[in-house]
Amino acid sequence: MTTTQRQSPPAGAPTGSAPSGPASNRRAGGRPKLSEKKRDGIAGYLFLTPWLIGFFVLTLGPMLISLYLAFTKYNLFTDPEWIGLDNFTRMFADPQYQQSVQITLVYVLVGTPIKLAAALGVAMLLNYRSKGTGFFRSAFYAPSLIGASVSVAIVWRAMFNADGPVDTGLGFLGVDVGGWVGNPALVMPMMILLAVWQFGAPMVIFLAGLKQIPGELYEAADVDGAGPWRKFRSVTLPMLSPVIFFNLLLEMIGAFQIFASAFIISSGTGGPAGSTNFYTVYLYQRAFGDLQMGYASAMAWLLLVVVGIAAFVLFRTSKFWVHYGGDLK
Amino acid sequence: MFYKHSRRTATAVAATAATILALTGCAGSGPAAEGGSTFDPDKEVTVNFTWWGNDDRAAKYTEAIELFEKEYPNVTVNGTFTDYPSYWEKRTTEAAGGGLPDVMQFDYSQMDSFGSRGLLYNLTPEYGENIDVDSIPESALSVGDIDGDSYGLISSTNAWAMFQDKTQLASLGLEPYEGGTGWDDYYDWIADVTAKGGGVYGGADPTQRIQNFELSLRQEGENLYTDKGELGFDEGDLTDFWESASDIRKSDIVPQQRLEELNPVSGFGANIAASELTWDNFGAGYIADSGKSVDDIVLTTPPTSDADAKDLYLKPSMLLAMSSKTKVGAAGAKLIDFLTNSPEVGKIFGASRGIPASETQRDGAELSGQDANVLAYEESITDRLGDAPPLPPEGAASIEQKFWDLGKSIDLGAISIDDAVKQFFDEAEIALNN
């Protein structure tokens, strides 16, 4: 709505004065000149205020304070004491910290590719039209829905204990490894298996990506005499690369932040012998077990920086292997 | 042990801490306690009360609270509970935010952290007014003192002890360890049981627990911590202690890998270890875990290098304290009084909180079964009881956990004793100066 419409001149008034009238009125009243676009913008921001308040008060504010705390010694009771870079230098001399970085990196670098490969493999199987695909899709997705829950980690723990189903099953095959949960060397494979098993989310995204690949490409490849492997390498992978990139990024960031399953499987101790002391588990212990909030804040910020760098590197490499629609050769 | 289960991203963890700060500002010291308040029975008051423990303890507290509310109809008690580790996570964050519950079950090792910062209510003016302390021995009453004022009232005591399963041992044709002899004797006994046990071990590695180290220090007249809150031992002492178990570590003790899988049930609780050193009030938990009966369990004195040493002591197993910012004053004090002195409450709890410190409550407790065993044990050790060690400094709880974790890593072969000693002292220095 504009004022001009409301103040349409009476019939017979000189047409020449019509435009100047409303314009001078507006100036006299001191009302701001707002275009429709601007007003929409303001309304938009008004609607956003609850979220903005939440963002500034509950997210950005605390994050900035934790950045400050990262340079202090703070135990929740006494005022933070500025100690400069001491928290960061301490990390590099802290054997537990180094161990937690090491196992977290192994988990990210080994676990993520395996999980994505599993997700892609199952997605490709489910991409075939056959009876019961709907059921299988739901069935394979289910572990991810319940996967983050406490109960699954508890079940997992029971399964991999000495004399649990896994130990017994392997015993039948003549492999006698005993329990996995108490063995520092076998906890990592178990954790990775748990992560891989929860492949549902990337699988669904892969499936959607697979559906987008035009069938003509496969037909053309058939005509050229390409076998299944060739089709996979030369059609599926390049066409799917944006989706792979997306999944890789999300899963990598998620893997860096592994917490709940490790926390439950070790009963919160990060044991045995620190083998489930993943980065965020250790951070949590330092913060809430030992009340070393400054040190924990410093750890959190270093993690943020490292994940940021990893994501950046991934983005930079993407131009070599991610093909978006237009540049298909 | 169970911990709180929640998923937190790295930043969220730090952000939570920071949020508390941002929203509430740092906790200043509380206002000076205006003690000796008079209780007005006609005023309606709600008292928030919290404790750590399992469902069993919760049921008992609920019963006790009902009795209290019957006696004081205008006081409503709001009870909440959680397991031990998350209990302190919650209390510390609340302390930072200035919102501690009115009445809290408290641990000896945390008294100094909270009390010396003005977070707890001065109970001294309430004594004789709203809290009857006549039936609590003077020595026990003073354990909650900081600079001459009382900030926590002892509710019960426990002592370090050895649990053994005599039925299991008899079925193997073996006698229980007699107690009170040298550590070598005990280790020989462990080796013997393991050799004949057919899958049952003599015990777990006692050097994992800082209490056993404390015992060996007290046998030499030392303590874990000095009066000034510094470590009362050096690298050499700790190295010797951990190395003292090197012989049984090879094959006589329950393999740590098994224990990791059983956690939070212990080797004794899972019936694969015939003996275990721990606090004497843990019997009920063992019975629940293992299916043993009271008659199977025998409590003996821990080994000692010096039969005349006064190395054991009665520790307050728990205290009751109030927040310095509480607005309920007298009503909270009345609750503490009731929970500490009431014979009916004693009957409900038995010795599951430890042996009641108040004589009236102890008499009402009608201790039987395992509770009677504990009482008999605590009476049997009077010759070995020495003075309680100085109030543990802040950071003691985290040092105790670190000690335990390193002991487990040594048994798993994941760290050498020398490296573990170095790590322990590095961590202890940080924890004591946090």
Same domain, B303 and B169: yes
Give percent of chain B with pLDDT exceeding 90: 62
Q: Take residue B235 and report the two structure tokens written for it.
A: 């690298």
Of B348, B375, B402, at which residue does a domain stop? B375
Asked if B348 reaches chain A (Cβ–Cβ under 8 Å), the answer is no
Please provide the average confidence, as pLDDT, over all residues in chain B: 87
- Taking CA–CA distances from A180, the nearest residue in chain B reads B261
B27 within domain boundaries: no
What range defines the domain where residue B51 resides?
Answer: 35-157+316-375
Domain assignment present for residue B384? The answer is no
Q: Could you tell me if A248 and A314 are in contact, meaning their C-beta atoms sit under 8 angstroms apart?
A: yes
Q: Do A66 and B11 touch (CB under 8 A)?
A: yes
Q: Which residue has the higher pLDDT, B407 or B98?
A: B407
Q: Which of B2, B113, B414 sits opposite A184 (nearest CB)?
A: B414
In a domain, A232, yes or no: yes
Domain that holds residue A303: 89-327
**B67-82, pLDDT tens digit by residue?**
999 999 999 999 999 8
Whether B107 and B216 map to the same domain: the answer is no
Considering only residues 110 to 169 of chain A, which have any Cβ-Cβ distance to chain B shorter than 8 Å?
148, 150, 161-162
Task: Give Cα A26 distance to the centre of its chain.
Answer: 51
Whether residue B244 is found in the same domain as residue B328: no
My answer on whether B247 and B367 are in the same domain is no
Q: Which residue on chain B is closest to A93 by alpha carbon?
A: B426
Distance (Å) from the alpha carbon of A289 to chain B's nearest alpha carbon: 7
Selecting from B6, B26, B401 the residue whose C-beta is nearest the C-beta of A79 gives B26
Residue B68 and residue B331 in contact, taking contact as beta carbons nearer than 8 Å: no
Q: CB of A283 within 8 Å of any CB in chain B? A: yes
d(CA A244, CA A206): 7
Mutation target to probe the B interface, by most B beta carbons within 10 A, among A56, A64, A77, A149 is A77
Residues B115 and B175 in one domain: no
Report, as an integer, the average pLDDT of B87-93.
87
Q: Is the pLDDT of residue B156 over 50?
A: yes
Residues B188 and B272 in one domain: yes
* Contact yes or no for B10 and A63 at CB 8 A: no
AA identity, residue B26: C
Q: Are B197 and B292 contained in the same domain? A: yes
Q: What mean pLDDT is predicted for residues B104-119?
A: 89
What's the whole-number mean pLDDT along residues B20-43? 53
What pLDDT does A48 receive? 92
Residue A70 lies in a domain: no
Q: What distances in angstroms separate CA A141 from CA A133, A154, A185, A204, one per listed residue?
A: 12, 20, 30, 8
Greater model confidence, B308 or B103: B103
What interface predicted TM-score (ipTM) does this complex get?
Answer: 0.76
Same domain, B247 and B98: no
| B25 found inside a domain | no
Residue B8 is predicted with a pLDDT of 42
Considering only the beta carbons, identify the residue of A161, A259, A297 that sits closest to B14.
A297
Residue B1 CA to residue B134 CA, distance in Å, equals 37
> B85 and A289 in contact by Cβ < 8 A?
yes
Interface with A, mutate which of B2, B20, B21 (most A CBs under 10 A): B21
Q: Decide if pLDDT at B34 tops 50.
A: no
Euclidean distance between CA atoms A119 and A121, whole angstroms:
6
**pLDDT, tens digit, 9 for 90 and up, residues B275-333:** 999 999 888 888 888 989 999 999 999 999 888 899 999 888 899 999 999 999 899 99
Give a yes or no: residue B195 inside a domain. yes
Contact B8 A284 (CB under 8 A): yes
On the 0-12 / 13-18 / 19+ scale of CB atoms within 10 A, A113 is: middle
Q: Does B92 share its domain with B183? A: no
- Say what the pLDDT of residue B28 is: 34
Report the number of distinct structural domains present in chain A: 1
pLDDT of residue A301: 96
Read off φ and ψ for residue B157, nearest 5 degrees. -125, 155
Mean pLDDT per 10-residue run, chain A (329 residues)? 41 43 48 78 91 93 95 89 94 93 96 95 86 82 72 83 84 81 88 88 92 91 91 92 95 92 82 90 90 94 96 93 68
* CATH code of residue B395: 3.40.190.10
Q: Do B17 and A76 touch (CB under 8 A)?
A: yes
| Residues B137, B228 share a domain | no
Domain count, chain B: 2
Query: Is B13 among the domain residues?
Result: no
What confidence score (pLDDT) does residue A138 get?
Answer: 84
Q: Is residue A46 part of a domain?
A: no
- Which of A257, A274, A296 faces B409 most closely, judged by CB atoms? A274
Residues, chain B, total?
A: 434
- Considering the domain architecture, whether residues B100 and B241 belong to the same structural domain is answered as no
Q: Give the number of beta-carbon pairs within 8 Å between A and B.
A: 161
A301 part of contact set with chain B, CB < 8 Å: yes
Q: pTM of the prediction?
A: 0.80
Closest Cα to residue B262, out of B234, B300, B290? B290
Q: What is the identity of the amino acid at B138?
A: E
Residue A13 within a domain: no
- Mark whether B71 and B171 lie in a shared domain: no
Q: Which residue of A has its CA nearest to B264?
A: A267
Which pLDDT score, from 0 to 100, does residue B342 have?
A: 94
CATH of the domain at A125: 1.10.3720.10
Task: Examine the pLDDT at B383 and tell me if it is beyond 80.
Answer: yes
In a domain, A276, yes or no: yes
Closest Cα in chain B, distance from residue A206 (Å): 25
Query: If you search the block for the tokens 């199987």, which residue do you land on?
Result: A125
Give yes or no for residue B335 having a pLDDT over 80. Answer: yes
Q: Is residue A192 part of a domain?
A: yes
Q: What's the pLDDT at A325?
A: 66
Preceding amide of B264 cis, omega within 30: yes
pLDDT: which is higher, B76 or B41: B76
